[in-house]
Structure formats: C-alpha cells, structure tokens
Amino acid sequence: MTKRRRNKISGQFSAHLVEMVESPAWRVASLSCRRVLDRVEIEHAHHGGNDNGKLPVTFNQFHEYGIHRHSIAPGIREAEALGFLVVTVNGRAGNAEHRTPNLFRLTYRDAEGMPGDGTHEWRRITTAEEAEQIADAARKNKPAKKTKSQCRKMPVTGADNRHRNDKSPVPETITTGMAKTITTSISRVDTTTQTPREARPLGSAVASGAASDNRRDRVEARIASQLGADGYDVLQSLSDSDLQNFIEMEQRGQLDSTALAEMRLKSLRGRKEAAA
C-alpha cells in the first residue's frame, strides 16, 4: 500500500525559494511592496506561468487588490529597488484609447531569453540595514516628472519669416505701443527704472516652496518617517477620512506623540476589520 502524498496542492500556487523568504530584502519589504508582488504573481498565473516580462497590471487592478492609491507607486519602486521586480515597459496615462499599463517581470521566475529560473537581483542585498535604507529611499524618492514641450510658440515676425506679408506693413506707432503694453503687463514696473527680474515679488518663491512642501505625497512621507520603519504600512491601513484628518493635523503642526499613538490604534483596528 502506497502512502498518500501530503504535499499535494489542489490548485494553482506561487512557490517562493526559502532562501528568498529568509533574505534581508524580503524581511524588510513593506505591506504595499508584498501586495504589489502578490498581484503580479496572480497575473503571471493568469497567463499560465508564461509571459514573465510582459505582465500587464493596471493602477486600478492594484487598487482593487487592496493597495491604497497613494501606496501603489511607492510599493512598485520598493519592489524594484529590493530586486524582486522589474518594470520592463513604463505605462502611459491619458484617455482610455491611449492609456497603457506598466509591464512587469518577476526576478524570481524564469523569463524568455534569460537563463536559469530568474535573475534574482534580491541576492545582491546582504544585510538588513542595507535593505532598510534601500527600501526607505525607494518609497520616498519620486522620479522627476517630464516637462512638456511648448508646442504653441509665438510666430517669428522678423525678416526671416517666410510667411511674413511685406505688402501689408504695420504702422510703426502701433508696434511700439504693443511692445510697451506687453512689457508693462509682464513686469508690472516701469522698465526705465527696474528690470522684470528685480520686480518679481520675493514672496512668490516662498509661496511656491510652501506649496511644494504641502503636497500630499510629501506630507505622507513626513508622517511615515515619524512613525518609523512601518510608517507606510500604518498609513495604508487607515481609512481615507482618518488619513485625511492626520494629514491636515501634520500641516497645522499638531501631529504630536499622542496623535501618532492614535494613528497606530486606528491602523490596528483597520487591519483587524480587514482580516475579519
């Protein structure tokens, strides 16, 4: 009589090397990072274990899986930095017909054109301290936004413009008057006594900096740093209304130790409700 196998699994599964689960990179990975990897693994399974490197997962699919909207991008960056994930093609936002998702490759799964069972970049991280620094930096550092080119430019009115109609000359007095009006409207000062750069209000630079510091992602990063290593996990488990309240408290300078303790308590309740 043969013994019945006890390690039989009745459905699809996603195996992990014990070496990877014990690695420093895996142990410091945040909840958002783990959920990002889980969702990409699900997509890999939906593709029959194929197409690694061409796995599309949309922003909404990550959100539907349970990742807070503000934690999706930091989670992807962290998974990449820790060596578990590679974004092979960057998606594009826009209207429905032009929008495309990111394409992903799991480094601990085999992929077409690559030898072995994966590239395993996570092995490069050898200590927990190094892993924590890499993960924290990846969550906080947003990539620089691309500047849009100015496609609508003022037409050239000089002699080199081939569209200029020399048969319709413009009176010199009108041109002079327009130039003075435009210069005055930009600088708001008398150009004979002060240059536009000198006339720029000093407070504008300060106001711009203050607005930048109050951006939601920057405020969340400051709160997470005050909470500690699990800061982003705490924020993710809060409800949208609670998170907004704490963000407003931080902006008013009222986020003290009592408020941080209350935040952790609400986070714990949220996790228990989600697990129930």
Cβ-based burial of 76 (10 A; exposed 0-12, middle 13-18, buried ≥19): buried
Within a domain: residue 35?
A: yes
In this structure, the answer to whether residues 72 and 176 fall within a common structural domain is: no
Neighbours of 128 (CB within 10 A): 13
> Residue 37 pLDDT > 60, yes or no?
yes
**Among 139, 104, 134, 138, which residue's Cα sits nearest to residue 24?**
134
Which pLDDT belongs to residue 209? 47
Within a domain: residue 255?
A: yes
Tell me the C-alpha distance between 260 and 3, whole Å.
55
Tell me the C-alpha distance between 248 and 261, whole Å.
16
The string of pLDDT tens digits covering residues 40-76 is 999 999 999 999 999 999 999 999 999 999 999 999 9
Cβ proximity of 116 and 13 under 8 Å: no
| Percent of the chain predicted with pLDDT > 70 | 69
In this structure, the answer to whether residues 88 and 188 fall within a common structural domain is: no
Within a domain: residue 122?
A: yes
Total structural domains within the chain: 3
In this structure, the answer to whether residues 34 and 84 fall within a common structural domain is: yes
The string of pLDDT tens digits covering residues 62-121 is 999 999 999 999 999 999 999 999 999 998 876 666 678 899 999 999 999 888 999 999
In this structure, the answer to whether residues 77 and 114 fall within a common structural domain is: yes
Domain residues for the domain of 211 are 206-275
Locus of tokens 């405020």? 219
Within a domain: residue 91?
A: yes
In this structure, the answer to whether residues 239 and 176 fall within a common structural domain is: no
Q: Show which of 140, 162, 192 is a domain's final residue.
A: 140
H or E stretch including 18? helix 18-21
Q: What SS3 class is residue 77?
A: helix
Which position has the higher pLDDT, 210 or 220? 220
Q: What dihedral angle (degrees, nearest 10) is formed by the CA atoms of 146, 85, 61, 275?
A: -130
Q: Show which of 100, 122, 140 is a domain's final residue.
A: 140
In this structure, the answer to whether residues 249 and 192 fall within a common structural domain is: no
In this structure, the answer to whether residues 259 and 182 fall within a common structural domain is: no
> Residue 197 pLDDT > 80, yes or no?
no
Within a domain: residue 167?
A: no
In this structure, the answer to whether residues 136 and 24 fall within a common structural domain is: yes
